[in-house]
Amino acid sequence: MVMNPGLRKFTLSIHLTFSVGWIGAVFVYLALGVAAVTSPEVQTVRAAWTAMELIGWYVIVPMAVASWLTGIVIALGTKWGLFRYYWVLISFLLTTLATIILILHMPDVSVMAATAQVVEGAALQALGGDLLHPGLGVMVLLVVQILNLYKPQGLTRYGWRKQQEHRSPQ
């Protein structure tokens, strides 16, 4: 089933809003992680962890899930399909992996945020910040964005077979 142009544009605009929002929110999360690592101020470290938890659960996770879901809708509702082109399949797999890792990682962020509220001094500084997950996350999301922008050539075996079936007389 292929969506009509109006529905496709509407769905694409929703997908782009969530996808770009997800990238922006991860940059904010990364900046808070840097503040948690570098600040000598107790209040700043505590505030950074609290904000990272809130942004993670209430902004990044919902945007990730919404981006994943709308991506599936667009893939299934357009000529690209979900399994026909390598760039779509790789984007889907990377987005799925990033979303799963995010959801599995967030309980640790909640523990760190709670810990930051009760520890003092050197123990608080030892908490550090969360730079690895958002750093890798930004890189993965930018790869997905580049794939979706440039749409490199290359049909999967499934896509090639479907193309041949469509071309051959019935």
Nearest to 144 by CA among 77, 39, 64, 76: 64
pLDDT at 87 over 80: yes
Instruction: Kindly report, residue by residue over 106-141, the tens digit of the pLDDT.
Output: 999 999 999 999 988 778 777 777 799 999 999 999
Q: What is the mean pLDDT of residues 7-18?
A: 96
Q: Where are the alpha helices (DSSP H) in 56-131?
A: 61-76, 86-118, 121-127
85 DSSP assignment = B
Predicted local confidence at residue 170, as pLDDT: 59
Q: What is the mean pLDDT of residues 41-52?
A: 93
To which residue do tokens 């962890």 refer? 49
pLDDT at 22 over 70: yes
Predicted local confidence at residue 93, as pLDDT: 97
Tell how many helices (H) and how many strands (E) occur in the chain: 7, 0
Nearest to 135 by CA among 50, 49, 60, 29: 29
Q: Using a CB cutoff of 8 Å and minimum separation of 24, what contacts does 136-139 make?
A: 137/26, 137/98, 137/101, 137/102, 138/23, 138/26, 138/27, 138/30
Q: What is the mean pLDDT of residues 17-26?
A: 97
pLDDT at 1 over 90: no
Nearest to 25 by CA among 124, 96, 106: 106
Q: Distance of CA 169 to CAs 2, 33, 155, 163, 164, Å?
A: 21, 59, 21, 12, 10
Task: Name the residue with higher pLDDT: 34 or 1.
Answer: 34
Alpha carbon distance 61, 34 (integer Å): 20
Instruction: Kindly report, residue by residue over 154-167, the tens digit of the pLDDT.
Output: 999 998 988 888 88
